[in-house]
Structure 1
Amino acid sequence: MADWIVVGGSGFVGGAIIDALASAGHGVSTQVSPRLLADPKWSAHGIVAEASKHEDEITALASSFADHDVVVNAAGLATPGADQSPDLFGANALLPALIWLAARRAGVRTYVHISSAAVQGRRPVLDGSWDQQPFSPYSLSKALGERGLQLLMDEAPTAPLRVRIVRATSIQDPSRSTTQSLINFARSPLASVAAPGSAPSPVSSLGGLAEYVLRIGETSQAVPTVSVQPWEGQTVRDVVLQYGHKEPVQLPPALCRLMLKVGYWVSKIGSPKMDSAVRRAEVLWFGQPISEGSAGHSLGMGGHTLEAGEWAQE
């Protein structure tokens, strides 16, 4: 069995990954992530240059990573509605590059970085391509974290360190404000979907993400560097029904698109923070499919439906 270390193992996602690894018989330990600050205006080159300056943090992390086969970065700030800040970009953009530098120095075999499907924004289909369409400070910080890793890999193409970027989809939990908002919506008279409600939803389970990280971290198969957490079989109707315990109203798709168009227009001209809220409404109504070409299918995952009470958003 491989020895794993999880950066951010005391957090929501990291804790679930540790539990899954321990249940599978892997040796696993946790590492507290350093607090970093980054300028939101930095490019990927700026992120990599800044990461290389943090010699003390790299040395400390490399010492912790020694004798481990797999490093998982489950740290970061999962705050979809956050404003731009040095903390947000330090945790989501700078830290991934810092961990890569430390993992390479320590001779780690595989580095699994937990990113977010939000980096692809409003793409019709989520996939494992490098195409990004960030739409908010949070998604931009996550996208920049990926770009920094891509640049590091391009600059060291012969490095033995394998990188696996996993884009988590919409993992919900009652402790999260985004989930409480979903519950309030699903139980309100406004609970609705774009008719007929059969569009695939990216809502997924925490257990499903942990299992996917385990599979992709230990596999010897050739899998893409970037992949999306596999779809678990829920439609937009299923999601509202699960969280609201009642049938959602089916709205005409044309009406939903008109309301979204107005919402994005208002966001653009005077209320940028509305953008994330409008995007959430778009996903609740229309969903967002995940490409069947994702690595999850080659690993025998996908198509799972949540059990009652199983909560599933990074």
Structure 2
Amino acid sequence: MTIVGLLGASGFLGQRVARALVGRGATVHPVPAPRLSTGGRDLEALLADLQSPGSQRERDRLADELAGCSAVVNAAGRADATASGDELFGADALLPGVVAAATPDPARFVHVSSAAVQGRIAVLDEAGAHHPFSPYSQAKSLGERLASAVNERTVCFRPTSVHGPGRPVTQQLVRVLASPLASVAGRGDRPTPQVLVQNVADACAFLALVDEQPPSVVLHPSEGLTTAELVRLLGGREPRRIPTPAARVVVGAGRVVGRWSAPAAGVARRLELLWFGQSQQRGWLDGRWTAPAGRQAWKEAAWKEAAWKETAWKELA
């Protein structure tokens, strides 16, 4: 019997990871994630914080909870690109290290990170280069580095922009794309790294259970969407085309404001992805794993947010 310890099992992604694991024949052992806080903003400080009495108590508790697990998945954390502060770094930077240290030998540890750690790099890949641009991406970057430093069996799984019914950022996106504000930069033929939550969950379950040892960093595969196609699928309309030079000026202004404001940095990055997208290389999962959900699931995600569509223009007018 394969038992997988799962932190964050009640969350937006964690619930679906649990179902995917069960669907692949595993037994799920939900484990409550501790609430941590840290002032550490670099790897050295976090390694020191990992040795604090509070962190050690949580590590020992988790070690008892995870004993007997064949794999451990950390789907806990704060998935808010506009957040900042010690609680954010506790959840997304320190917690992965605590769980990695508590994972029993020789169990595999799959840590759900984010492609945001590579920031605005032209082409996402599975390299170790990190280019965080906000408190959220910095915390995720540190979480990867800390977990990998304390546990050599760590697999850092990097989903890109995750969407699905019930997620506020998806509701906001559907709302915008269903309105006259729906737009793309230029022709709208650039690839955009938007992915469905059910696909991310199944890929995460695959990484936890596959016999072959995955590499230390795994990027979620592209779902093949372009910026214009995303508008058509979620908004049900043809996007307006914004001249590329004008769009770059707006995004550039957002970046400047984002240097002093975490919420502004998150909003500017979302607008940049909406207008310009981002390319990515083929990775380890390509050719090994097949996404269970396709274009129809994107349409269904939009339909389930129909209430937003019906009121979008009234609220924006």
Question: TM-score scaled to structure 2, two decimals?
Answer: 0.88
Aligned counterpart for 1:252 among listed residues 243, 246, 254: 243
CA distance in 1 between partners of 2:289 and 2:265 (Å): 36
Q: How many angstroms apart in 2 are the aligned matches of 1:304 and 1:125?
A: 24
* Cα distance in 2 for residues equivalent to 1:272 and 1:24: 39
Mapped partners of 1:303, 1:5: distance in 2: 23
Distance 1:281 1:221, change over 3 A: same
C-alpha distance in structure 1 between counterparts of 2:210 and 2:219, whole Å: 16
Q: Does 2:37 align with 1:32? A: no
Contact 1:68/1:108, CA 8 A, preserved across alignment: no
- By how many angstroms is 1:32 displaced? 0.5
* Alignment CA distance shift 1:303-1:279 (3 Å): farther
Q: What SS is found at the alignment partner of 1:273?
A: helix
**Structure 1 residues 259 and 307: alpha-carbon distance in aligned structure 2, compared to 1, 3 A threshold:** same
Q: Structure 1 residue 255: deviation in Å?
A: 2.2
Amino acid aligned to 2:32: V
Aligned equivalents of 1:303, 1:28: Cα separation in 2? 20
For residue 173 of structure 2, what is the amino acid of its counterpart? L
Tell me, in whole angstroms, the C-alpha distance in 1 between the residues paired with 2:90 and 2:204.
Answer: 23
**How has the CA–CA distance of structure 1 residues 222 and 33 changed in structure 2, closer, same or farther, with 3 Å as cutoff?**
closer
Cα deviations by residue, 1:14-37 (Å, 9 ceiling, x for unpaired): 110000111121111100001111
- Indicate which of 260, 264, 282 corresponds to 1:274: 264
SS at match of 1:9: coil
Q: Distance in 1 between matches of 2:48 and 2:301?
A: 39
Residue 150 (structure 1) shift: 3.0
1:85 Cα deviation from its structure 2 partner: 1.5
Q: Which moved more, 1:139-148 or 1:179-188?
A: 179-188
Q: Which residue of 2 is the match for residue 179 of structure 1?
A: 170
Q: Deviations over 1:91-116 (max 9, x none)?
A: 1111000011111xx32420000001
Query: Which of residues 248, 267, 274 is equivalent to 1:284?
Result: 274
Contact 2:203 2:291 (C-alpha < 8 Å) held by counterparts:
no
Query: Which of residues 214, 217, 222 is equivalent to 2:205?
Result: 214
Of 155, 159, 163, the match for 1:164: 155
Compared with structure 1, are the counterparts of its residues 171 and 291 closer, same or farther at alpha carbon in structure 2 (3 Å cutoff)? same
Of 165-174 and 72-81, deviating more is: 165-174
Answer yes or no: is the 8 Å Cα contact 2:148–2:154 preserved in 1. Answer: no
The change in CA–CA distance for 1:203 and 1:311 in structure 2 (over 3 A counts) is: farther
Which of 219, 235, 239 is the equivalent residue of 1:228? 219
Uncovered stretches (5+) of structure 2, i.e. residues with no partner: 303-317
The equivalent of 1:307 in structure 2 is 296
Aligned-CA RMSD value: 2.0
Structure 1 residues 15, 287: CA separation in 2 closer, same or farther (over 3 Å shift)? same
Please list, as runs of the form range in 1=range in 2, the aligned pairs for 1:20-169 lying within 5 A after superposition: 20-39=20-39, 41-53=40-52, 54-82=55-83, 84-103=84-103, 106-153=104-151, 162-169=153-160
* Change beyond 3 A, Cα 1:207–1:272: closer
The answer (yes or no) to whether the contact 1:70–1:217 under 8 Å persists in 2 is: yes
Q: Over residues 282-303 of structure 1, what are the superposed CA-to-partner deviations in whole Å (9 max), with x where a residue is unaligned?
A: 10011112211x1111414469
Q: Contact (CA 8 Å) 1:233, 1:303: kept in 2 or not?
A: no
Return the letter of the residue paired with 2:22.
A
- Measured against aligned partners, the alpha-carbon deviations of 1:37-89 in whole angstroms (never above 9, x if no partner) come to 111x431122122123222211111111111100000000111111x211111
Partners of 2:183 and 2:241 within 8 A in 1: yes
Match of 1:193 in 2: 184
Distance 1:264 1:140 in 2: 16
Q: Matched residues in 2 for 1:260 and 1:139: separation?
A: 18
CA distance 1:266–1:57, change in 2 (3 Å): closer
* Offset at residue 275 of structure 1 (A): 1.9
Structure-1 separation of matches of 2:120 and 2:153: 29
Partner Cα distance (1:109, 1:240) in 2: 42
1:285 and 1:67 map into 2 onto residues whose CA distance is 47
Aligned to 1:156: none
- Structure 1, unpaired ranges of 5+: 154-160
1-structure distance, mates of 2:293, 2:22: 22
1:252 maps to a residue whose letter is P
In structure 2, what is the Cα distance between the partners aligned to 1:305 and 1:77?
Answer: 27
State the secondary structure of the residue aligned to 1:25.
coil
